[in-house]
Chains A and B, each alone.
Chain A
Amino acid sequence: MTDFPSMATGRDGRFLNRTEMLGAAALALLVFVLLPLALDPFRLNLFGKYLTYAFVAVGLVLCWGAGGILSLGQGIFFGLGGYALAMFLKLEASTPEATAIQSTPGIPDFMDWNQITALPGWWQPFHSLTFTIIAVVAVPVIFAFIIGTAMFRRRVGGVYFSIITQAIAAILTILIIGQQGYTGGVNGITDLRTLNGWDIRTDEAKTVLYFVNGALLFGCLALAQFVRRSKLGRILIAMRDREDRVRFSGYDVASFKIFVFCLGAAFAAIGGAMFTLQVGFMSPSFVGIVPSIEMVIFCAVGGRNSILGAVWGTLLVNWAKTTFSEGFPELWQFGMGALFIAVVLVFPDGLAGLWKQHVEPLFARLKPRPSAPQPAE
């Protein structure tokens, strides 16, 4: 798949070209000004939840759009990040006073229901917030590093990689549901209350978290843009299009793939942790095959080659999902299916591609045209 437009990002040596700057400004306006002004706290929290998926979608733009690696297991990393934070919050909520009615006070309620009498050793470090914040990113990245090393060093790629990541997502879901004494099972880790004493359930806290989430997202976007603009980004695209040539030119293809896969995992993990904070629980239904593949569709609808497009796509698909599934749940399922097919057959470059093709020429026509370059005599 040769895709020259996406290679043209920033030939001029600037961090953002004019269109990208306008796009980023428009998105910032929407996220930080328009949405908070227009929506009540409940709806704003809902959009905050959508934005946590955007972290995953941005990671997928790097892995899939630029690197050509389609991971169907981003839910693994989203879930691991979310669970790590949920464990900390759950421990904080399970003080001996708050859980005095349990047969073993001081451990999370679901452990008590499952006849577990002591906190397991691997839960202990999650008493510390510092450890938890490190673990939110480190655990998924290490996991991604192991998967990536095992697969890419053996030159497993393409659809095989997708299937294996999907299988791992399935395994993790079964494991979480099966070990309900340690993980909260199918309900997940619920009833989270405070973060270091700060009540996260109030409307003010949710609004603050929304802005923190937005700021983190823009941080990730900047990082993603940095990667795309760097030489590394060029190599990724070259790898996607002609892997052999890059290898024969002396580059260690596997290392680049592992790096970008780990970066995507880190983004997803941050999104997962913010999800836990804003929504107040984490459950296996955000880990498995279905959520993982839905995150791919967010990215595909927005445009697999555009990090800003991925955010727009995520917001749009989720907003449509909420709106339609409230009114017509049956139609939504058909619509989602049709979206998968349409995004592949009709507009493979997503919204960003449509924008580039149809809207930008309009803008160009509006602008006063610089005098046509004179053919050199």
Chain B
Amino acid sequence: MFADYSWGELLSIFAMQGFAGLILFSVFVLMALGLAIIFGQMGVINMAHGEFMILGAYVTYLVSRLFETYMPALFGIYFFIAMALAFVVAGALGMVVEWTLIRRLYKRPLDTLLATWGLSLILQQLFRSVFGPREVGVTIPQWMMGSLPLTDTIEVPINGLFVMVLAMSISAAIYVLMFRSRWGLQVRAVVANRTMADAVGINTERTDRLTFGIGCGVAGVAGAAFTMIGSTGPTSGQLYIVDTFLVVVFGGAGSLIGTIASAFSISQAQSILEFFLSGSMAKVLTLLAVVGILMVRPQGLFALKLRK
């Protein structure tokens, strides 16, 4: 399949497809980070994760319309406000869901899966009723449009670059939160041994609620970032949910580094294959490879050693 291209062309193809893969990688990382916290740390299957992301996207859409109508002068910075708001809204909803639904089901993981699927159906219909069935897009601020030419044949779009930077900074923030903060210490203690954590005075219920809320909030931020590179519809979240779960499982549940590494390999494989095969075959081959590897190595790439 490489024979028809010259070396220079091949290099450009790999660079451009590699960059497209990096954007996909950023979306995967943003979505998977929230899930890595909720599924990886707490062991809760949240099938409504995609809908929390779409909630963030719709919040961004609303904020952008608000700025367009009332504060056109500040339009350049609306995205940052939208992102913060998306985090708060999705996080708050997440905490409500944890309090009403999830906390009753910690001992029944399969039932959690069904209940959160029901939640995702309700949220989807809610989006459809409020925003209509058609996809909506936001106006990207002026400074994010256009692309940076690197060479004659390679150029990188600025909005993609921005999403990448965002993904990297949020990953760093979560790393700090998990491994350098009091909250992170409590979360890890509860994961490692719930009873002991309870015994040394950690409020495990509050930790659970906060963890779930932060995971959902990160999904909201992912949704906000998602609006910069694509449009949003009521069922967009469902398209990504399986991919995202595979990313987290493939990386090894519980390992943040694993999640990032697996998001990187899956997205790169998919986008480079996409150039040579049809989009659907690229996806089939990538996912098949992931499932195949998981059958041989069920614990994922980076397994966290835990006494169960």
- Chain A: residues with CB nearer than 8 A to chain B? 1, 64, 70, 72, 150-151, 154-156, 158-160, 162-164, 166-168, 170-171, 174-175, 177-178, 289-290, 293, 296-297, 300, 330, 333-334, 336-341, 343-345, 348
Contacts and interface: CB of A to CB of B under 8 A. Distances in A.
B117 A330 contact: no
A245 to B, nearest CB: 16
Interface in B210-244: 238, 242
A163 B114 contact: no
B121 A337 contact: yes
Given A159-B45, A334-B121, 14 more contacts: A159-B109, A162-B45, A164-B291, A171-B287, A175-B284, A178-B278, A178-B281, A330-B128, A337-B118, A337-B120, A340-B118, A341-B101, A344-B118, A345-B104
A116 B12 CA distance: 34
A336 B280 contact: no
A150 to B, nearest CB: 4
A343 B278 contact: no
The winner among B118, B288, B294 for most chain A CB atoms within 10 A is B118
Interface of B: 43, 45, 101, 104-105, 108-115, 117-122, 124-125, 128-129, 238, 242, 245-246, 249, 278-281, 283-284, 287-288, 290-291, 294-295, 298
B115 A340 contact: yes
Contact of A330 (B115, B129, B242, B295): B129
20 contacts: A64-B110, A70-B113, A159-B109, A160-B298, A163-B45, A164-B249, A168-B291, A171-B284, A174-B284, A178-B279, A178-B281, A289-B242, A300-B114, A337-B121, A337-B125, A340-B114, A340-B118, A343-B114, A344-B108, A344-B118
A337 B295 contact: no
A336 B279 CA distance: 32
Contacts of A171: 284, 287-288, 291
A231 to B, nearest CB: 25
A64 B111 CA distance: 11
Given A330-B125, A334-B122, A162 B110 contact: yes
Contacts of A72: 113
A338 B125 contact: no
Contacts of A297: 114
Contact of B242 (A166, A177, A334, A340): A166
A333 B295 contact: no
B118 A336 contact: yes
A69 to B, nearest CB: 9
- State the majority secondary structure of interface residues on B: helix
Contacts of B245: 163, 166-167
Contacts of B121: 333-334, 336-337, 340
Give the 5 A-B residue pairs with the shortest CB-CB distance, closest first. Answer: A340-B118, A178-B280, A337-B122, A337-B121, A333-B125
Contacts of A339: 118
B295 A154 contact: yes
A235 to B, nearest CB: 20
A167 B246 contact: yes
Nearest to B234: A333
A150 B128 CA distance: 40
A170 B242 contact: yes
A231 B109 CA distance: 28
A154 B292 CA distance: 13
A67 to B, nearest CB: 12
A293 B117 contact: yes
Contact of A70 (B110, B120, B290): B110
Contacts of A150: 295
